[in-house]
């Protein structure tokens, strides 16, 4: 069994913001694999499907970004999932917009949601799919304001190509034993 967690903030005001790219990628996957993420459990919206004879649970934590670890640990414990079978998808300001990275483990870096997951799981061994949103263009801009900005129309149009690249990395995770 695998758990795929897309990070974001619940609510209309956060739709299409840079910080919600994890939610947006799960929405993309839901179109590719034809499922809906609507079941409420463990402080998340979830869905389950089978891919390659493996049950895969998709989750969008509803705890807000900085407390994402609360939902992830509840899901891990409820479904008895090994930490190495968890993939967390989130935005990364240290990666150029449009680039993606798949990592097997590591720290939370500068991402408060990822840091909270490391803390709550007491482990750095979960998988990560980082989607670059680029860094601050104006050093006077507050980081919070930057990540909570909505994507521009042209960036939104680019997301399909970016998600196609991220899909390849998602498939690597799904195939891991």
Cβ burial 85-102 (10 Å sphere, 16+ → b, else e): bbbbbbbbbebebeebee
Q: Which two tokens stand for residue 57?
A: 């649970």
**Which residue bears the tokens 């919206």?**
45
Q: Return the structure tokens found at 84.
A: 């190495």
Contacts of 108 (CB under 8 A, 6+ apart): 114, 115, 116, 117, 118, 119
- Compute CA distances 114 → 45, 77, 161, whole Å: 18, 18, 24
Catalytic residue among 2, 6, 17, 19: 19
C-beta atoms surrounding 133 within 10 Å: 25
Contacts of 175 (CB under 8 A, 6+ apart): 52
109: which 2 tokens?
């870096």
Asked if 111 is an active-site residue, the reply is no
Active site positions, annotated? 19
């Amino acid at each position: 069994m695998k758990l795929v967690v897309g990070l974001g903030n619940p609510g209309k005001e956060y739709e299409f913001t840079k910080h919600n790219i994890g939610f947006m990628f799960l929405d993309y996957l839901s179109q590719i694999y034809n499922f809906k993420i609507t079941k409420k459990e463990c402080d998340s919206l979830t869905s389950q499907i089978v891919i390659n004879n493996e049950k895969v649970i998709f989750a969008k934590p509803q705890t807000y970004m900085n407390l994402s670890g609360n939902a992830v640990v509840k899901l891990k414990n409820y479904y008895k999932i090994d930490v190495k079978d968890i993939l967390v998808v989130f935005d990364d300001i240290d990666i150029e917009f449009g680039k993606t990275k798949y990592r097997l483990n590591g720290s939370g870096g500068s991402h408060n949601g990822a840091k909270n997951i490391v803390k709550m799981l007491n482990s750095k061994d979960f998988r990560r799919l980082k989607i670059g949103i680029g860094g601050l263009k104006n050093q006077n801009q507050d980081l919070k304001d930057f990540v909570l900005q909505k994507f521009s129309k042209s960036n939104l149009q680019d997301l399909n190509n970016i998600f196609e690249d991220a899909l390849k990395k998602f498939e690597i995770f799904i195939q891991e034993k």
